[in-house]
Amino acid sequence: MSTEKSTEHAPAVTRRAIAEGIEPLLYETLPVLDHGFVRVIDYMGNDAAITQAARVSYGSGTKQVQQDRGLIRYLMRHWHTTPFEMCEIKLHVKLPIFVARQWIRHRTANVNEYSARYSIMDKEFYLPSPEHCAPQSQNNKQGRQPEPLSPQRTAEVLEILKQDATRCYDDYIALMNTDESGHVLNEGTEGLARELARMNLTLNYYTQWYWKIDLHNLFHFLYLRADRHAQYEIRAYADVIYDIVKQWVPVAAEAFEEYRLHGAHLSKTMVAMVQKLWRGEAVDQATSGLSPREWEDFMRVVADPQNIS
């Protein structure tokens, strides 16, 4: 699973539109977690491609940069999404299997994953850093508390995770009767097929894939996975990818941050509450028509804007 650059990626003259900011990132390995990474393999389009699609024009366009910026912000603000689909990006991602199973829920991308039926998995597994070893959240069934476990318990947990992952990999190799290079270990001993032996590996082992997605659906991915409520491990990847996007399409990224990532969507009832507040009327959860959870979300928006996203 090499990540080295090949000679076929040598610089070449092109007539296609390029994005100057992302060019230096092509094929560069951007580390994530302990053994993971993100690499930009290819991309199509730039900020100008979005405005050209919106105007159904060709070539470099005739509008000023400021006009293009205004149009992109208008498109984002009014949810005109198809022009953003004119841009695509292809990433090479190395990530823990449990993160991949969460990630694959975004069914709007093209994915080709490393095959453990064809190849032998590397002996690389994810161990969380101590500050991310936390107990189950008391009010969120799919999250963890912000405070970590005690140092003693954290050390115990990490040792268990390490021992389990190591033992399972050793058994994985023993089941196949081959080493990591595929050479037979014990002549005369039958080996189990790779497609079956792989089921013995723990979910913190690393896999890799190529992931290609258009900008509109990538923004949706980032809206969910770069959010502060997202699981830390997938959020770490989203943060790196968002840094890439800001270099690739800076004007579109600015609009996304303004209207989506750090914006807020209010329900009909919430809008009515804002109107009451504007008129100087008192509002409370009991008479608002909002559930306690909805009221908490509403107050986080109107009373503490820094908590948005």
Q: What's the pLDDT tens digit per position in 100-154?
A: 999 999 999 999 999 988 899 999 999 999 999 998 888 777 788 888 999 999 9
In a domain, 97, yes or no: yes
Kindly name the residue from 225, 228, 235, 293 that is annotated as catalytic: 225
16 carries an active-site annotation: no
Does residue 95 lie in a domain region?
yes
Element at 30 (helix H, strand E): strand 30-32
Q: Determine, yes or no, domain membership for 46.
A: yes
Q: How confident is the model at residue 64 (pLDDT cuts 50, 70, 90)?
A: low
pLDDT of residue 58: 46
Which pTM does this prediction carry?
A: 0.87
Q: Is residue 259 pLDDT above 60, yes or no?
A: yes
Mean pLDDT of all residues belonging to the chain: 89
Q: What is the pLDDT of residue 224?
A: 93
Based on the fold, state whether residues 105 and 24 are members of the same structural domain. Answer: yes
What are the tokens at 56? 């159904």
- In this structure, the answer to whether residues 22 and 85 fall within a common structural domain is yes
Structural domain contains residue 135: no
Q: For residue 309, name the pLDDT band (cuts at 50, 70, 90).
A: very low
Residue 13's domain spans which residues? 1-126+204-263
Is-contact 36 126, C-beta < 8 A?
A: yes
Written as one letter, the residue type at 263 is: G
Residue with tokens 């090949």: 6
In a domain, 142, yes or no: no
Lowest average pLDDT, out of 1-10, 61-70, 116-125, 250-259, goes to 1-10
| 74 plus 97 within the same structural domain | yes
Q: Where are the alpha helices (DSSP H) in the chain?
A: 47-55, 65-77, 97-103, 151-176, 194-197, 215-225, 232-248, 250-256, 268-278, 285-288, 292-303
Examine the domain organization and report whether 27 and 82 are in the same domain: yes
Residue 17 has pLDDT above 90, yes or no: no
CATH number at residue 14: 3.30.1360.170
What's phi and psi for 280, nearest 5 deg? Answer: 85, 15
Residue 145 lies in a domain: no
Check whether 300 has a pLDDT greater than 90: no
pLDDT of residue 118: 87
| In contact, 121 and 165? CB cutoff 8 Å | no
pLDDT at 137: 80
Structural domain tally of the chain? 2
Distance CA 232, CA 102 (A): 12
Lowest mean pLDDT among 46-55, 89-98, 164-173: 46-55
- From residue 170, give the alpha-carbon distance in Å to each of 66, 119, 176, 207, 246: 59, 16, 10, 17, 42
Q: What is the mean pLDDT of residues 295-309?
A: 72
Secondary structure of residue 291 in the 3-state scheme: coil
Rounded to whole angstroms, how far apart are CA atoms 152 and 202? Answer: 24
Rounded mean pLDDT, 255-266: 88
* pLDDT at residue 28 greater than cutoff 70: yes
pLDDT of residue 263: 83
Nearest alpha-carbon partner for 142 in 206, 224, 260: 224
Indicate whether 2 pLDDT > 80. Answer: no
With a pLDDT cut of 90, the percent of the chain lying above it is: 62
Both 214 and 287 in a single domain? no
Q: How confident is the model at residue 15 (pLDDT cuts 50, 70, 90)?
A: confident
User: Alpha helices of 137-249 — where are they, by DSSP H?
Assistant: 151-176, 194-197, 215-225, 232-248
Report the alpha-carbon distance of residue 243 to residue 214 in Å, rounded. Answer: 16
CB atoms under 10 Å from CB of 16, counted, come to 7
Q: Which two tokens stand for residue 25?
A: 């990132």
**Residue 73 placed within a domain:** yes
- Count CA atoms closer than 13 A to 178's CA, side-chain side: 15
281 alpha carbon, distance to own chain's centre = 42
| 186 assigned to some structural domain | no
